[in-house]
Structure 1
Amino acid sequence: MASRRAGGLLRGVTSLLLFSVCVGVEFKGFRRFHEVERRSVLEEQWFIQRLDHFNGADTRVWKQRYFINEAFYKPGGPVFLMIGGEGPANPAWMKAGAWLTYAQKLGALCLMLEHRFYGESHPTADLSTDNLRYLSSRQALADLAHFRSVMAERRGLADRKWVAFGGSYPGSLAAWFRLKYPHLVHASVATSAPVHAAVNFPEYLEVVWRSLASENSNCPVLVKKASVTLAERLKDPETYDNITKDFNLCSKLQIQTEMDAAYFLETLAGNFMDVVQYNEDNRGFEGATGTNITIKVLCGVMADTSLGDPYARYAAVARLMMDTFSIKCLNASYEGYRRDMTDASWSGPAAGGGRQWVYQTCTEFGFYQSTDSPNQPFTGFPLVYHVKQCADLYNVSAEQLAEAVAQTNEFYGGYDIRSTRIVLPNGSIDPWHALGVTWDISPDLPAVFIQGTAHCANMYPARSEDLPQLALARDHIFLLLQRWLKQ
């Protein structure tokens, strides 16, 4: 997952969206299943992990955080492993969620492992670019493999069948864990998993257009008019005082480079991108705020002629989002973003996941949600804007980025997965489904494409207002697990 905000993670250290187990600072890319960290009655535990699994001469170790729920375990039952992602592991997932419903029915032991470099799992003294070379999906998978092997031996679970769960980026990890370590994991539920890496990902915003249009066909048209109007006004310094007031900026708008304009335009587009990605989901159970803001609400504001022209309605959406998330003013400075993102301390403003996740996009995945397609509702943040950030923040060139993304697809197979016992659920509203698998690859690699649902919807606890097709998808996944555990 993510745009440039906080997974999937609002868009201020700008945005980011993914889920891992699906993920507060604002980073770029996926979005948040671990977004709200809340202390739990569940005791956090620690596992000794190697820093570099691929260098036998490097004996350095660190402590990785994990959680365990034994409430449903029956002797001889399976082991469920929830994979952490680009944010803190939220213990709320050890108390609720579809996977726990499955665990209760199947007598499973449940574990959740936090991803290296996120949350409290700090492998290195800081987040310097030199240290971040130990942050990768391959190292994370090796963490999972070692954790699984040691825990199985420690707790007498070597002959138990292990099932991996994850959503968004961790959904990809769940699929790849089964792909790369088939002797260790028996099956995987890889929800909203972008398994294909791509430097340029304009399809994300194309899905945003279609998702907005599903509520009101004129909604994305109005959004595009507003975005284009704002982009034109950014070319005239005489408009900056009014724009500063209209969008309640923390300081007077200064557009000195194309990066400044692109950053501001992407920040405002993020209001719509985030809402679409998480539309009408059940994040409230984990302490998330803003779940009342839906596509219907935003399109209602954009259709309200009493607010003025589309530009004025666009500003009203921005103020609504700021009020909802108790943001006093909007930071619109690319230089401020760059400064925050290059702070390598664990106490830095982007250490909650932003600096780490954007590094992963620059060195493995891309996933840049650009405005390069004409069939999307925004303007002004093309691919070159995203790619330049890799150079500004980590000294990664465009050529290095392209090569890294190609290597990722070569290593994992992209869409062309060849494995067994992996189910790949996706929602039609979720823009990330464009990089996922939405068709059955084989009987043992089934897709579950859920019409009308957003990012990781099938992972959340069930509720009465769930769409019938969402309830059926959860049931279908359970039946698959039940069958696979007998194999």
Structure 2
Amino acid sequence: MRFITLSCLLLVLCYAVNGGKHFKLGRSKGGNLGAPGGYKGEPLPPAQWFKQKLDHSSPSDLRTWKQRYFVNDSFYDFNNQGPVFLMIGGEGPADARWMVKGAWIDYAQKFKALCINLEHRYYGESHPTEDISVKNLQYLSSYQALADLANFIQAMNDKYKLHSNVRWIAFGGSYPGSLAAWLRLKYPHLVYAAVSSSGPLLAKVNFMEYYEVVVDALREKTGGEDCVDVLKMAHKQITTLMKTDPSIVEKEFRVCKPFSSASTNDIKNFYNSIADDFADLVQYNEDNRISADVKYRNLTINTVCNMFLSSGAQPAYKKLAAFNSIILEKTNQTCLDYSYDNMIKELRNMTWGSEGARQWMYQTCTEFGFYQTSSGEIEVFGNDFTLDFFIQQCEDIFGKKYNADFVNAAVAWTNINYGALDIAISRVVFVHGSVDPWHALGITKTQENEAPAIYIKGTAHCANMYPRSENDSSELIEARLEIEQYLAGWVGQL
């Protein structure tokens, strides 16, 4: 290989937190795309830095900053130039392990592609401004990120002296899955095709469908209603105990402070937190990520539901509390911190060094919404974290300007700008899994032959992007082969 090992690489994904929520707005700490499984210490490329414009909307603004990227050119023949594969960074740090592992690397080896990964502005080590105050976050948007990519592509064409007929193929999962499609839409002269995995194309303020899919996923994976019934009963019992004997809930769920000192928003945050545990479980079910600890690799919908159903006559709320304890241990939390003020304080932190929660919250308030409310599954999760709870967070974190009218207008503009589910596009394949709650905002059925959809039964968020595993379902294996066929046609190797 033509690159050296990163001496400071962490060999495991660390989910350790000192407080607050490990999973918020459908986003794990560090971003929605985990590190690829199967990494065994292979040499990794060093970080490189690109001189990027701060504000692409103003040609006369000449301010610049350094954006991080990685390159793997070990498959590439510069004398007989093939395609360039571009992995788009998203709402977390870019991870060099993706430069040697993952389905896109398998494709790159087959098609002899040059692989490049550009980190998203404001995440990871790509810091355009001195801090992340509201004033400076004005330069954080999908528009600016797409323009970053366009500027970067042109610069790489010059740097590597790529021929004009070299085809760039964009890859992205989750929010970058949306960016991959939008990059092809907005800059078709620069990007020949794209693979958009688990990308929510429809911006939606009240994303009530999220928890509907969570519940449907429990039914799909277990083949019945029993697990859903236990979860439903658990939440009903918790609601009753909160009125009659809240000390029981305090003890069982290992909360950091008694409910007697809790505010209304604290209680909403508590209910949202225990629902998030299941959302996190479902969203990443059975994927081939590096886990924080091998003992949590088997934490899946089926194993948790089996735990629920094999605990005999134990009350349902105790079963849910036992699962909550596993999540606390997995994330290195000594107690469940449901404090609304603590959460807001953490998200008000304007200094670099966080894992991107404030930045992602800003993007939801100014572009996407994506608020996973309880409104769609009241029977299962109660109705304690409704839309107003999330809008309140926008106002409390960023200011009163970011109210319901502001968020609704911002989301409407996003859909007008990109076309939402009516996006007019070609040479993009949309990939989604039936267990992934985000598929509810994506294209899951082929509408145009030039923009096919692959809907993988039984798989979760970005499952097709991770490395092959002996545990892969036949549906997932087939989907990866289908993507490979589309790529073969796009790069002219059919």
Letter in 1 for 2:397: L
Inter-partner Cα distance in structure 2 for 1:235 and 1:126: 44
Q: Which of 210, 226, 233 is the aligned partner of 1:225?
A: 233
Q: Match of 1:220, as an amino acid?
A: V
In structure 2, distance between residues paired with 1:485 and 1:11: 46
1:247 equivalent in alignment to 2:248: no
Contact 2:271/2:385 (CA < 8 Å) preserved in 1?
Answer: yes
Matches within 5 A, 1:88-103: 88-103=93-108
Instruction: String of CA shifts for 1:336-355, please: whole Å, max 9, x gaps.
Output: 101111111113xxx21100
Change (3 A) 1:402 1:34: farther
1:376-401 deviation digits (Å, cap 9, x = unpaired): 63121111111111111112110000
Q: Secondary structure in 1 aligned to 2:380? A: coil
Against the structure 1 CA distance between its residues 285 and 261, is the aligned structure 2 distance closer, same or farther, given a 3 Å change threshold?
A: closer
- How far apart are residue 486 of structure 1 and its match? 2.3
Does residue 48 (structure 1) correspond to residue 51 (structure 2)? The answer is yes
Match of 1:359 among 358, 362, 381: 362
Is the counterpart of residue 310 in structure 1 residue 313 in structure 2? no
2:477 to 463, 467, 471: 471
1:112-169 residue CA offsets vs partner (Å, 9 max, x unmatched)? 0000000000111111111111100000000000000111111112421000000000
8 A contact 1:450–1:470 mirrored in 2: yes
Q: Which residue of 1 aligns with 2:387?
A: 383
- Alignment-mate amino acid for residue 361 of structure 1: T
Alpha-carbon distance in 2 for matches of 1:169, 1:407: 17
Q: How does 1:54-453 map to 2 (within 5 A)?
A: 54-74=57-77, 75-159=80-164, 160-214=166-220, 215=222, 216-235=224-243, 238-239=245-246, 241-254=247-260, 256-284=262-290, 290-306=296-312, 308-347=314-353, 351-374=354-377, 377-379=380-382, 380-395=384-399, 396-453=402-459
Residues in 2 aligned to 1:16 and 1:96: alpha-carbon distance in whole angstroms: 27
Q: Percent of pairs identical after alignment?
A: 44
Task: Report if aligned partners of 1:243, 1:253 keep a CA contact under 8 Å in 2.
Answer: no
| Residues 36, 466 of structure 2: 8 Å contact kept | no
Q: Deviations over 1:85-118 (max 9, x none)?
A: 1010011100100001110110100000000000
TM-score normalised by structure 1 residue count: 0.91
Alpha-carbon separation, structure 1, partners of 2:404 and 2:340: 19
In 2 relative to 1, CA 172–34 (structure 1 residues): closer, same or farther, beyond 3 Å? farther
Residues 195 and 437 of structure 1 are in contact (CA less than 8 Å); yes or no, is this contact kept in structure 2?
yes
Cα RMSD after superposing both structures? 2.3
1:288 to 1:204, Cα distance in 2 relative to 1, 3 A: farther
- The structural deviation recorded for 1:255 is 5.4
Amino acid aligned to 1:199: V
CA contact (8 A) 2:35 2:289 kept: no
User: Letter of the aligned partner of 1:422 in structure 2?
Assistant: V
Instruction: Kindly provide the amino acid, as one letter, of the partner of residue 229 in structure 2.
Output: V
Matched pairs, number: 466
Where 1:274 maps in the other structure, the secondary structure is helix
Contact kept? 1:52, 1:60, Cα under 8 Å: yes
Alpha-carbon offset, residue 476 of structure 1:
0.5
One-letter code aligned to 2:230: L
Contact 2:22–2:331 under 8 Å retained in 1: no
**Does the aligned pair in 1 maintain the 2:44–2:97 contact within 8 Å?**
no
CA spacing shift, 1:11–1:317, aligned 2, 3 Å? farther
Moved over 4 A (4+): 34-40, 285-289
> Unaligned 5+ residue runs, structure 1?
1-5
SS in 1 for 2:483: helix
Structure with bigger RCO (C-alpha 8 Å, 6+ apart): 2
Distance in 1 (CA, whole Å) between partners of 2:240 and 2:189 is 57
Change (3 A) 1:298 1:376: farther
Measure how far apart 1:323 and its partner are: 2.3
Kept in 2: contact 1:277–1:429 (CA 8 A): yes
- Quick one: which amino acid aligns to residue 31 of structure 1? N
Kindly tell me: are residues 178 and 288 of structure 1, through their superposed partners in 2, closer, same or farther at Cα, counting changes over 3 Å? farther
Verify the 8 A CA contact 1:196 1:415 in the aligned structure 2.
Answer: yes
> 1:13, 1:340 within 8 Å by CA — same for their partners in 2?
no
Farther-moved stretch of structure 1 (373-382 vs 445-454): 373-382
Per-residue deviation at 1:288? 8.8
Corresponding residue for residue 3 of structure 1: none
Provide the rounded CA distance (Å) in 2 between the counterparts of 1:363 and 1:460.
Answer: 30
Query: 1:297-344: per-residue Cα shift (whole Å, max 9, x none)?
Result: 221222233472111111011012222333222211111101111111
Gaps of 5+ in 2: 1-14
Counterpart in the other structure of 1:31: 32
Deviation at residue 422 of structure 1 after TM alignment: 0.2
Query: In the alignment, what sits opposite 2:24?
Result: 15
AA at the equivalent of 1:425: V
| Alpha-carbon distance change, 285 to 484 in structure 1, aligned in 2, over 3 angstroms | farther
Counterpart pick for 2:490 among 480, 484, 487 = 484
Q: TM-score, normalised by structure 2?
A: 0.90
Task: Report the residue type matching 2:155 in the other structure.
Answer: V
Task: Check the 8 A contact 1:234/1:255 in 2, yes or no.
Answer: no
Superposed displacement of residue 11, structure 1: 7.0
Q: Distance in 2 between matches of 1:295 and 1:339?
A: 33
